[in-house]
Structure 1
Amino acid sequence: MTPKSGVLLGGSCVTAIAAVGSIFELSSGHPQLGGVVTGIILTLAIPLTVILFYAAVQDARANQ
């Protein structure tokens, strides 16, 4: 693993945690940041998780 792929993988983990947290907040019925803000976080976090993970895998493969 290169430092770049490590950073990308770490970012993917953080955005995945944000997505899961947003789902729990929205399902509780009373999100602390409000429904709109939590929905925006969820909407951005899911594709960003996939993009960062894919980029980390591609970088690791390219540097093997």
Structure 2
Amino acid sequence: MYLTPKSGLLLGACCITAIAAVGSIFELSYGQPDFGVPATATILGLSIPLTVLFFVAAVRDARANIK
């Protein structure tokens, strides 16, 4: 098993930021966002690169722990 606690936490953070990105896209696409357009756009702008960053970090950590 290659999943370490660190890579598991990174994958969890990746899932959360991906959900935030999808939710922000839907909020911006279908009417007035609950938090307003600037806040929702900021969440979207931050969550996309964070999703990629967390995923890459999780894969690197898992590969580093292959024995």
Instruction: Report how many residues are paired.
Output: 64
Q: Distance in 2 between matches of 1:31 and 1:60?
A: 37
Task: Mark the runs of 5 or more structure 2 residues left unpaired by the alignment.
Answer: none
**Given residue 2 of structure 1, which amino acid in structure 2 is its aligned partner?**
T
Q: Partner of 1:3 in structure 2?
A: 5
**Given residue 56 of structure 2, which amino acid in structure 1 is its aligned partner?**
Y
Q: Distance in 1 between matches of 2:55 and 2:7?
A: 9
Q: Partner of 2:27 in structure 1?
A: 25
Identity %: 67
Structure 1 runs (4+) greater than 4 angstroms displaced: none
Give the match's secondary structure for 1:33: coil
CA RMSD of aligned residues (A): 0.3
In our comparison, the structure showing a higher alpha carbon Rg is 2
Q: Distance in 1 between matches of 2:13 and 2:20?
A: 11
Task: Mark the runs of 5 or more structure 1 residues left unpaired by the alignment.
Answer: none
- TM-score for the superposition, normalised by structure 1: 0.99
Counting helix residues as a fraction of each chain, which structure ranks higher? 1
